[in-house]
């Protein structure tokens, strides 16, 4: 894991990792991407949507792990969920530098019975958060299997992050 | 969606929607309906219990979506979970007018493999919250499939809401 | 349920129950056991790991309820998840006496389709928390079924607890 220097800001770290923030995906339904309460920002469950050939959001992969989606593909999905979540956070607070710490990450992996490597899928998300935020990216986590996720997503990830009060408007 | 005027209070909005608060259901087990920490109120997972013919709580519908329970029935369950959750919130803080905002809604839908419309089920809950609270009812959300839920419920929904500190006893 | 006197501290109550805190298990993956935000401590999902014959962590039982793991075994797993969670909390804040209240408990039970007694499994966890903390151990809860959990665990439990600010370092 290539850990960038802790002094660079989170968005520079993303660039250094060869990644960039996507446009924050619109919620699939009647809710909002983030809700703030005090210093906590609650981020809605993210699925690995990417812009499709015609520009409309499409799933990176579809189905259950490991039969329809491989471990590597599921990990790629987990990283995409993080990027979509970061885009939603930035849209909410203006800059990723306003995040004091990542608090909790909830990971749901669409799993066949007998698939027990949810933590290995979730690690791809956790490691990306640590690469982007350094120690502030370390978090409590729950990773579980799910029989089916929205649109057929292999992974859904939700976040609770703490905002730096100094960033208050 | 018939959005009531934003000036009416949440309980009047419920009435205008032809709905009324049920008696808060007792927890199925050894826990409590709500727990407050600071300004956040955590509401236990609600299932679509209604008073049965003999008055004791019974499930509105039972089973997985879509084989045993239709989309429309699942949405009716989701709305009932919201009503039961609102009753629990009112019992905790005295009045729904004491809720400053809905923060996070967690929706579990008992799903057959290959059922990917959890968001459509969850929307029934989200839309009802917005009808009752207006913009304050908008929330972050995670909706996922579950292989089985308590008592055979098709839907379970938990809530985090923020309390208006002015309502403190 | 043998409720110890409310004046004894939580760790004495554990001892009175014939239980002792295990060494806090290391996370299975790239995350941390707990993360604090304000007065809330978020505890990562705990699985029923115990020291194996060679000292390395091993699951108390493995598989889905009720086919591979009985109700009694699942309840024993739920209690072990609590002990592991308490060990993580103590490692984070120094003493269980620093916990002001348990706020939310999230319980995932690896379930066969048609198994609807997740609350009965989760009760073993809830009751232990109430035995250890008295009224402060009462909490909001969500208990749901999961198709598969990490390493094949029958139960995974995560916690949100509130810290007594007087315990701040």
- State yes or no: pLDDT of B143 exceeds 70: yes
Most C CBs within 10 Å: which of A123, A125, A127, A144, as the mutation test of the C interface? A144
**B140·A106 Cβ contact <8 A:** no
Cβ–Cβ contact C99 with B under 8 A? no
Task: Specify whether the CB–CB gap between B146 and B106 falls below 8 A.
Answer: no
For residue A164, what is the nearest residue in chain C, using CA coordinates? C37
Predicted local confidence at residue A160, as pLDDT: 98
By mean pLDDT, which of A65-74, B2-11, B54-63, B107-116 is the weakest? B2-11
**C42·A146 Cβ contact <8 A:** no
Q: How confident is the model at residue A168 (pLDDT cuts 50, 70, 90)?
A: low
Q: Which residues of C touch A63 (CB under 8 A)?
A: none
Q: How confident is the model at residue B2 (pLDDT cuts 50, 70, 90)?
A: very low
**C29·A143 Cβ contact <8 A:** yes
Q: Tell how strand C99-110 and strand C140-146 pair up.
A: parallel
Q: pLDDT tens digit string along B6-62?
A: 457 998 999 999 998 898 877 767 789 999 999 999 999 999 999 989 988 999 999
Q: Which residues of A touch B102 (CB under 8 A)?
A: 35
- ipTM, two decimals, is 0.93
Task: Specify whether the CB–CB gap between A160 and A41 falls below 8 A.
Answer: yes
Cβ–Cβ contact C115 with A under 8 A? no
Furthest C-alpha separation in chain A: 48
**C148·A122 Cβ contact <8 A:** no
Cβ–Cβ contact C74 with A under 8 A? no
Q: pLDDT tens digit string along B48-105?
A: 999 989 988 999 999 999 999 999 999 999 999 999 999 999 999 999 999 999 999 9
Cβ–Cβ contact A9 with C under 8 A? no
d(CA A40, CA A144): 23
- State yes or no: pLDDT of A63 exceeds 50: yes
Cβ–Cβ contact A64 with B under 8 A? yes
Which secondary structure element, helix H or strand E, spans residue B123, and what is its range?
Answer: helix B118-133
Q: Which residues of B touch C162 (CB under 8 A)?
A: 37-38
Rounded to the nearest angstrom, the minimum Cα separation between C10 and chain A is 23
Cβ–Cβ contact B146 with C under 8 A? yes
Q: pLDDT tens digit string along C11-65?
A: 899 999 999 889 887 776 778 999 999 999 999 999 999 998 998 899 999 999 9
**B44·C160 Cβ contact <8 A:** no
Radius of gyration of chain B (CA): 15
Q: Which residues of C touch A134 (CB under 8 A)?
A: none
Cβ–Cβ contact B37 with C under 8 A? yes
Q: What is the 3-state secondary structure (H, E, C) of chain C?
A: CCCCCCCCCHHHHHHHCCCCCCCCCCCCCCCCCEEEECCEEEEEEECCEEECCCCCEEECCCCCECCCCCHHHHHHHHHHHHHHHHHHHHHHHCCHHHEEEEEEEEEEEEECCCCCCHHHHHHHHHHHHHHHHHHHHCCEEEEEEECCCHHHCCEEEEEEEEECHHHCC
Q: pLDDT tens digit string along C115-164?
A: 999 999 999 999 999 999 999 999 999 999 999 999 999 999 999 999 99
Residue with tokens 């690690």: A123
d(CA C75, CA C126): 11
Residue with tokens 């370390």: A138
Q: How confident is the model at residue B135 (pLDDT cuts 50, 70, 90)?
A: very high
Residue extents of the structural domains in chain C: 33-163
First to last CA, chain C: 35
Tell me the CATH class for B33-163.
alpha beta
Sheet with C34-37, side-by-side order of all strands: C34-37, C40-46, C155-163, C99-110, C140-146
- State yes or no: pLDDT of C4 exceeds 50: no
**C116·B43 Cβ contact <8 A:** no
d(CA C80, CA A5): 40
Q: Find chains touching chain C: ≥3 CB pairs under 8 Å.
A: A, B
- State yes or no: pLDDT of A2 exceeds 60: no
φ and ψ at residue A107, rounded to 5 degrees: -120, 125
């Amino acid at each position: 894991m290539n850990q960038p220097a802790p002094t660079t800001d989170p968005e520079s770290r993303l660039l250094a990792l060869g990644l960039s923030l996507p446009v924050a995906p619109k919620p699939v339904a009647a809710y909002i991407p983030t809700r703030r309460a005090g210093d906590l920002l609650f981020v809605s469950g993210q699925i690995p949507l990417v812009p499709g050939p015609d520009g409309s959001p499409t799933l990176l992969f579809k189905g259950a792990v490991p039969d329809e989606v491989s471990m590597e593909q599921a990990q790629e999905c987990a990283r995409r969920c993080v990027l979509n979540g970061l885009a939603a956070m930035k849209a909410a607070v203006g800059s990723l530098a306003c995040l004091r710490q990542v608090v909790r990450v909830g990971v749901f992996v669409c799993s066949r019975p007998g698939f027990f490597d949810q933590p290995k899928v979730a690690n791809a998300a956790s490691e990306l958060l640590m690469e982007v935020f350094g120690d502030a990216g370390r978090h409590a986590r729950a990773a579980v299997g799910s029989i089916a996720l929205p649109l057929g997503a292999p992974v859904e990830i939700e976040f609770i992050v703490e905002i730096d009060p100094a960033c208050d408007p």
